Amino acid sequence: MERRSVDGREVAVWAALLTVSVFAHAHVEVANEASRGQPISFGRAMVIEVSSHLVVAALLPALYWLHRRWPIPGPPRNLLVHAAALLPFSLLHTVGMTALRLLWFAGIQGEPYVFPLTVDRLAYEFAKDIVTYGMLSAGVMAMRHFFGRPAVSTPAAAPPPAQSAEAPAADAASGAAPLPERFAVRKKGREILVEVADIDWIEAAGNYAVLHVGGDTLEIRSSLSRLEGELDPRRFVRVHKSFVVNVARIAEVTPWVSGDWRIRLQDGAEVNLSRRYRARFEALVPVRS
């Protein structure tokens, strides 16, 4: 897939969150050790927490890749992928923070530091990492929601007029540019062609759009608004500021909260149909009670 550019806003938010977390956990560590009768200095607690948070920060790019490749919400198998990722995430986190602490305490400060590699300790770290992975995943999805919006929010356009079978020929005669039938995207270092008709739905991701094609996800460097203008309005419809769906891949439409509806696609994914785009949607897919 194409490499995404780094969004400085996300980096700044993560840096602030991790910094606050370091100080909060250091205070908790000092209080916990004092309650056990083994007081430690705030500086030592800071080193312990900084080592843990540095490894978490290093693992964030891998977490972003997992959520782009197997997004949540998505097919049920995506949840299984993230569940399977918990163990390597915990092992890398535990080994990484232990190595940093040994380097600082034993290698630089010359102080003793022992990390018992027992089943109980590893199970304890794994339990904590389950919570950490869940919180980081929630943060990744929240960043995608807030920072993945198109820069300019365009008003809902009027429903496209009905077109006859002769419309494409008329467009060609008038010199209008034909709509593309396929897009070129990069995947694993090579360029592949994706048939437009095979696209199930499209999701906004900042300066990129994520194409969901048969359970696979591919990134294309284009805003969702621009990409929407290159798609056949009789086959693809904007249902949310962040989503465009292929009407042929819709399996079910159900009422949801606050007057919005919920669209379930044939690949198992679910997206919101907001009230703002409902008139345009019903012009293509009439919904009857």
Indicate if 176 and 141 belong to the same structural domain: no
For residue 29, the model assigns a pLDDT of 85
Instruction: Give me the mean pLDDT over the 105-125 stretch.
Output: 78
Indicate if 18 and 51 belong to the same structural domain: yes
Indicate if 107 and 194 belong to the same structural domain: no
264 in a structural domain: yes
132 in a structural domain: yes
Instruction: Give me the mean pLDDT over the 184-208 stretch.
Output: 82
Q: pLDDT band at 115, cuts 50/70/90?
A: confident
Query: Residues 53-102: pLDDT tens digits?
Result: 999 999 999 988 888 777 776 667 788 889 999 999 999 998 898 888 88
- For 94, the domain range is 8-147
Q: pLDDT band at 269, cuts 50/70/90?
A: confident
Indicate if 132 and 177 belong to the same structural domain: no
Structure tokens at 262: 């919920």
For residue 236, the model assigns a pLDDT of 92
Query: Residues 119-178: pLDDT tens digits?
Result: 888 888 889 989 999 999 898 888 877 765 433 333 334 444 444 444 444 444 445 567
In the chain, how many domains are there? 2
Whichever domain contains 222, its CATH number is 2.40.50.1020
For the chain, the distance separating the N- and C-terminal CA atoms, rounded to the nearest angstrom, is 42
Indicate if 134 and 176 belong to the same structural domain: no
**DSSP β-bridge partners for residue 212:** 201, 217
127 in a structural domain: yes
161 in a structural domain: no
Q: pLDDT band at 268, cuts 50/70/90?
A: confident
Indicate if 54 and 135 belong to the same structural domain: yes
CA dist list (Å): 88 to 16, 68, 82, 125, 272:
26, 18, 11, 12, 33
Indicate if 70 and 135 belong to the same structural domain: yes
- Average pLDDT over the chain, rounded to whole? 79
Indicate if 26 and 75 belong to the same structural domain: yes
Give the Cα separation of 3 and 61 in Å (integer). Answer: 12
Verdict on whether the full-model pTM lies above 0.85:
no
For residue 200, the model assigns a pLDDT of 92
Indicate if 109 and 197 belong to the same structural domain: no
182 in a structural domain: yes
Indicate if 129 and 188 belong to the same structural domain: no
Indicate if 189 and 262 belong to the same structural domain: yes
Q: Smallest Cα–Cα separation from 274: which of 155, 164, 182, 169?
A: 155
DSSP 69-84: HS-SSS-HHHHHHHHH
**DSSP β-bridge partners for residue 183:** 194
94 in a structural domain: yes
Q: How many CB atoms are closer than 10 A to CB 73? A: 12
166 in a structural domain: no
Indicate if 256 and 131 belong to the same structural domain: no
26 in a structural domain: yes
